[in-house]
Amino acid sequence: MDFDEFREFGHASIEFIINYLSGIRERDVLPSVAPYTVINQLPKEIPEKPEHWREVLKDLESIILPGLTHWQSPYFNAFYPSSSSAGSIVGELLIAGIGVLGFSWICSPACTELEVVVMDWLAKFLKLPEHFQHASDGPGGGVIQGSASEAVLVAVLAAREQAVISCKETHPELSESEVRGKLIAYSSDQSNSCIEKAGVLAAMPIKLLPADDDLILRGNTLRKAIEDDVAAGLIPVICIATLGTTGTCAYDDIDSLADVCQALNVWLHVDAAYAGGGFALEECTELRRGLDRVDSLNFNLHKFMLVNFDCSAMWLKDANKVVDSFNVDRIYLKHKHEGQSQIPDFRHWQIPLGRRFRALKVWITFRTLGAEGLRSHVRKHIALAQQFEAFVRNDSRFEMVAPQALGLVCFRPRGDNEHTAQLLQRLMERKKIYMVKAEHAGRQFLRFAVCGMDAKPSDIEFAWTEIETQLTALLAEKSLAARKPSNVSELTQHFQMHLASDSGTHEKSQ
Ligand code: PLP
């Protein structure tokens, strides 16, 4: 492809993206494809001859798009948002176009230095303690990882290595494998699956401690668990707290956890993958309580800062603890500015060697939206969640399950779990909105997460109308099914309903 053709392809692709995003509300948020639909439409091998890009875009439209779940749709209300914006999309294109890797400063100095700058900008914007900035006097700083999972794993691995070093000093009678066999970590039973996975990958058990009834993990629970484990000869390494749990966006009590961790020399990491966006707001100051006492934290820019996936910020109070744990050198990786303050070699801060120029899309996003735009995005999601909560509270057939937090509302139709599952099933089959269930203390509930690039009050109204009319239909079906038909037209309706539900079952079993 020559540059002229590249230009045409690029322009057409931008048009494609704009058409897709501007028309996203017209699509069902969930696809209607059966398994293998995409596989069966595509050739089994790479085409031998180059194809024209127009053919590729045509197939993207006709084969791939129908098989997509539309994450940027405001009717996508599952999980948490994976946000995007015009600036970050163009940033992603420029990253690919420029195509540099920045694992060491010398590989591409601007790549590292821009990351230092945007991570400090972000630390200030989120009002994080000063020691997390590269520009501070201490050994702290921020780095962009691909995902919260990677950030947590880095913290877990670094804490593990630090614990092994210090334990070998305090217990010289123990061999290294004996020390490693005694290591133990902690989190709450409300934490994201990536925490447990980090434990598996780090070969270190992570105890999922029971959160209190309000779904918050507090220091007293941690202290008791640590004391029991120490008495049993184990070595506590790290506690991973969550600000904004995936289930209900609950906030662990960082202050009381920090009391325990500081007293017992345990690393404290905070996973604020979603809720970190709230740090920026004056009205959410409470959220930041205790952060000055944590060793590391992560926040997904792709969740709340309108930077497209993947982009996960991580800050360390003492980056040397990570660098020293992961430092594996080769002569070809060396350069003469190594170790100079504020020019980190980020390869030591992460799992892979190679690294993307993610700082570029962050920089472009921040500049094109401004701090003002970022704050108003978070505020808008909170306001839309409050709008949704008002709908829930206004309809006595529903109940709230947890307090509305940032852009998340957890609610359920009154009744048993089966009722919640049936409502969700209907909604999923209609594909107009997409939510997922969660469960706590044996009660299933629905999570409504405000998502989308530009969700509006009318989108929330659309979602609510869909939910409540489907509940009305479900209740009507149930009451009809429970009642004995008393006249000819009711009898006909009764049998029609049975036939419809039988054919539904039949279709699914095929
Ligand atoms: N932590 C929390 C609280 C989350 O909600 C999620 C995902 O939604 C994650 C971690 C995992 O994020 P990632 O996909 O970036 O690894």
Ligand 1 within 6 A of CB of 368: no
CA of 189 from ligand 1 middle (Å) equals 15
Residue 147 alpha carbon, nearest atom of ligand 1: 15
Q: Quick check: helix, strand or coil at residue 31?
A: coil
Ligand 1 within 6 A of CB of 53: no
| Ligand 1 pocket test target in 271, 314, 350 with most atoms within 8 Å of CB | 271
Burial (0-12, 13-18, 19+ Cβ within 10 Å), 178: exposed
Rounded-to-integer distance, Cα 50 and Cα 64, Å: 20
* Residue 121 backbone dihedrals phi, psi, to 5 degrees: -55, -50
Q: 411 Cβ partners below 8 Å, 6+ apart?
A: 389, 392, 398, 399, 400, 401, 445, 446, 448
Q: 71, 303 in Cβ contact below 8 A?
A: no
Dihedral angle of Cα 301, 306, 308, 312, to the nearest 10 degrees: 0
**Average pLDDT value for the chain:** 93
Per-residue pLDDT band at 505 (split at 50, 70, 90): very low
Ligand 1 within 6 A of CB of 252: no
Asked if pLDDT for residue 360 goes beyond 90, the answer is yes
Share of the chain above pLDDT 70, in %: 95
pLDDT at res. 510: 35
Residue with CA closest to ligand 1 atom 11: 148
CA of 243 from ligand 1 middle (Å) equals 11
Mean pLDDT to the nearest integer, 477-499:
72
Asked if pLDDT for residue 503 goes beyond 60, the answer is no
CA of 194 from ligand 1 middle (Å) equals 7
Ligand 1 within 6 A of CB of 148: yes
Rounded-to-integer distance, Cα 223 and Cα 427, Å: 43
Helix ranges restricted to H, 182-316: 193-201, 219-231, 254-264, 301-304
Asked if pLDDT for residue 107 goes beyond 60, the answer is yes
Asked if pLDDT for residue 284 goes beyond 50, the answer is yes
pLDDT at res. 325: 87
Please compute Rg for the chain using Cα positions: 26
pLDDT tens per residue across span 375-408: 999 999 999 999 999 999 999 999 999 999 999 9
Ligand 1 within 6 A of CB of 192: yes
192 counts as catalytic: yes
pLDDT tens per residue across span 288-303: 999 999 999 999 999 9
CA of 83 from ligand 1 middle (Å) equals 13
pLDDT at res. 498: 60
Cis ω on the peptide bond leading into residue 212 (within 30° of 0)? no
Q: What is the fold, at CATH topology level, of the domain defined by 100-356? A: Aspartate Aminotransferase; domain 2 (3.40.640)
Residue 246 alpha carbon, nearest atom of ligand 1: 5
Residue with CA closest to ligand 1 atom 14: 147
Q: 85, 309 in Cβ contact below 8 A?
A: no
Residue 149 alpha carbon, nearest atom of ligand 1: 16
Mean pLDDT to the nearest integer, 75-104:
96
CA of 195 from ligand 1 middle (Å) equals 9
- Check 77, 192, 298, 300 and give the catalytic one: 192
pLDDT at res. 238: 98
Ligand 1 within 6 A of CB of 147: yes
Q: 148, 298 in Cβ contact below 8 A?
A: yes
pLDDT tens per residue across span 309-353: 999 999 999 999 999 887 887 887 788 788 777 789 999 999 999
Asked if pLDDT for residue 496 goes beyond 90, the answer is no
pLDDT at res. 335: 81
- The structural domains of the chain, with segments of one domain joined by +, span 3-78, 100-356, 378-483
Residues listed for the chain? 510
Mean pLDDT to the nearest integer, 455-484:
93
Per-residue pLDDT band at 361 (split at 50, 70, 90): very high
Share of the chain above pLDDT 90, in %: 86
User: Is CATH 1.20.1340.10 the classification given to domain 3-78?
Assistant: yes
Asked if pLDDT for residue 286 goes beyond 80, the answer is yes
Q: Quick check: helix, strand or coil at residue 362?
A: helix
Ligand 1 within 6 A of CB of 271: yes
| Ligand 1 pocket test target in 149, 187, 296, 300 with most atoms within 8 Å of CB | 300
DSSP code of residue 279: G
Ligand 1 within 6 A of CB of 256: no
CA of 28 from ligand 1 middle (Å) equals 25
pLDDT at res. 129: 97
pLDDT at res. 508: 39
Asked if pLDDT for residue 132 goes beyond 60, the answer is yes
CA of 251 from ligand 1 middle (Å) equals 14
For residue 15, the Cα-to-chain-centroid distance in whole angstroms is: 29
Asked if pLDDT for residue 253 goes beyond 50, the answer is yes
Q: Quick check: helix, strand or coil at residue 267?
A: strand
**388 or 102: whose pLDDT is higher?**
388
pLDDT at res. 506: 43
Secondary structure string (H, E, C) spanning 152-210: HHHHHHHHHHHHHHHHHHHCCCCCHHHHHHCEEEEEECCCCHHHHHHHHHCCCCEEEEC
Rounded-to-integer distance, Cα 280 and Cα 123, Å: 9
User: Is CATH 3.90.1150.10 the classification given to domain 378-483?
Assistant: yes
pLDDT at res. 75: 98
Asked if pLDDT for residue 180 goes beyond 90, the answer is yes
**454 or 496: whose pLDDT is higher?**
454
**202 or 507: whose pLDDT is higher?**
202
pLDDT at res. 490: 67
Residue 312 alpha carbon, nearest atom of ligand 1: 15
Q: Quick check: helix, strand or coil at residue 224?
A: helix
pLDDT at res. 504: 45
Ligand 1 within 6 A of CB of 242: yes
Ligand 1 within 6 A of CB of 194: yes
pLDDT at res. 494: 65
pLDDT at res. 430: 97
CA of 44 from ligand 1 middle (Å) equals 34
Asked if pLDDT for residue 509 goes beyond 70, the answer is no
Ligand 1 within 6 A of CB of 406: no
- Taking residue 83's Cβ as centre, other Cβ atoms within 10 Å add up to 26
Ligand 1 within 6 A of CB of 273: yes
pLDDT at res. 500: 60
Asked if pLDDT for residue 483 goes beyond 80, the answer is no
pLDDT tens per residue across span 1-52: 999 999 999 999 999 999 999 999 999 999 999 999 999 999 999 999 999 9
| Ligand 1 pocket test target in 192, 269, 301, 310 with most atoms within 8 Å of CB | 192
